[in-house]
Amino acid sequence: MSRESRRASGTTLLVTALALLAAVVIGSANSPARADTITDDNVEAALASAKTAAEHQALAEYFTAKSKQAQANVQKHRTMSGLFGGKSSQAWDGHCRSLMRTYEEQAKDYAALAKEQSAVAAALAK
């Protein structure tokens, strides 16, 4: 193989590798967002960059999961509020009821955000 032939072959290989890398990067940038990739740490960025129906639906799923988590906390504190007796029972009951109200509000707020994101996703899907 001549020097020019090896150089041309190496250039072709480099161009092919760069094209493949570009396709992977572009493909992953355009892939739909998944709810399991949205976290408390990146939800703000996900909201700011959401443009597609899939991205908004992923946000709706994230907020639905947060609502369910808040409802689970309501149930946990409802159960705990009845566990303590004696002199401190009133303090524990007040503590748990306060947290239950907070988590109930969170659940409602997250459910409303999920509904909004679902509506945006549906509108974009049309």
**pLDDT, tens digit, 9 for 90 and up, residues 9-68:** 555 654 454 444 444 444 444 445 565 799 999 999 999 999 999 999 999 999 999 999
**pLDDT, tens digit, 9 for 90 and up, residues 66-124:** 999 999 999 999 988 878 776 677 888 888 999 999 999 999 999 999 999 999 999 99
In this structure, the answer to whether residues 65 and 106 fall within a common structural domain is: yes
- Count the domains in the chain: 2
CATH of the domain at 72: 1.10.287
In this structure, the answer to whether residues 1 and 54 fall within a common structural domain is: no
DSSP the chain: --HHHHHHHHHHHHHHHHHHHHHHHHHHHSSPP-GGG--TTTHHHHHHH--SHHHHHHHHHHHHHHHHHHHHHHHHHHHHHTT--GGGHHHHHHHHHHHHHHHHHHHHHHHHHHHHHHHHHHHHH-
In this structure, the answer to whether residues 27 and 71 fall within a common structural domain is: no
Share of the chain above pLDDT 90, in %: 55
In this structure, the answer to whether residues 10 and 22 fall within a common structural domain is: yes
> What pLDDT is attached to residue 38?
95
Task: Output the pTM of the full model.
Answer: 0.70
**Domain range holding 47?**
34-125
> What pLDDT is attached to residue 74?
96
